[in-house]
Chain A
């Protein structure tokens, strides 16, 4: 069975600090897909990134970056120079097959103070 663990339940930082969110996953499949979603206070779930298991290149998108380490089954997410608008709950998720269901971690609440 697949499982996603986000050990950090809440992180509080001051604006402009960097923050790293941890995600550890378990799966028996050799091909799988990892996701990050953002849930701002308004409640919607916003897709941030999808990573395929066979592509271990790290990715950067503006102030966001993702570090995929297959050897440690981790897919960590870093926000550089955090801003108040980054305050949200962030979810890591796993799918074992393209087009298949997502299994979510418990989420990490990020609070960025001005």
Chain B
């Protein structure tokens, strides 16, 4: 089965350190999303790309977060410097631009980040 792959699955880091999360979208999908899940805010969109170009990153704190797609098979989300309030689960998802039956948005297993 094709799936979205995220690394690392779990990360514990100290405040101030840089954190990079990686995502490999499903082959052929041209839209990639980054979501963050917290108890307080639920699932919120941070940024998303189509054909590697950023479409919307308004949900992302610009001073410390950055998202890129170096190529069609890799999306990255970087936090520098990290803070305890960044502790959350970060999900990557991918989808096609046209949704035919069975083609939709699929999520990776998430990167569980703890900043101490």
List, in ascending order, chain B residues with CB within 8 A of A99's CB.
31, 50, 95-99
Q: Which residue of A lies closest to B112 (CB)?
A: A43
Q: Is the CB of B43 within 8 A of A91?
A: yes
Task: Report the Cα distance A92→B104, complex, angstroms.
Answer: 14
Interface SS of chain B: helix, strand, loop or mixed?
strand
Q: Is the CB of A50 within 8 A of B45?
A: no
Number of interface residues of A (CB under 8 A): 20
B110 at interface, CB cutoff 8 A: yes
A28 at interface, CB cutoff 8 A: no
List, in ascending order, chain B residues with CB within 8 A of A37's CB.
107
Q: Mark B18-53, 1 if CB is under 8 A from A, else 0.
A: 000000000000010100000000110100101000
B89 at interface, CB cutoff 8 A: yes
B14 at interface, CB cutoff 8 A: no
Q: Is the CB of A33 within 8 A of B99?
A: yes
Task: Report the Cα distance A107→B110, complex, angstroms.
Answer: 17
CB pairs A–B below 8 angstroms (7 shown): A33-B99, A35-B104, A44-B109, A45-B107, A101-B45, A105-B42, A107-B42
Interface set of B (CB-CB < 8 Å, partner A): 31, 33, 42-43, 45, 48, 50, 56, 89, 91, 93, 95-99, 104-110, 112
Interface set of A (CB-CB < 8 Å, partner B): 33, 35, 37, 43-47, 50, 91, 95, 98-99, 101-107
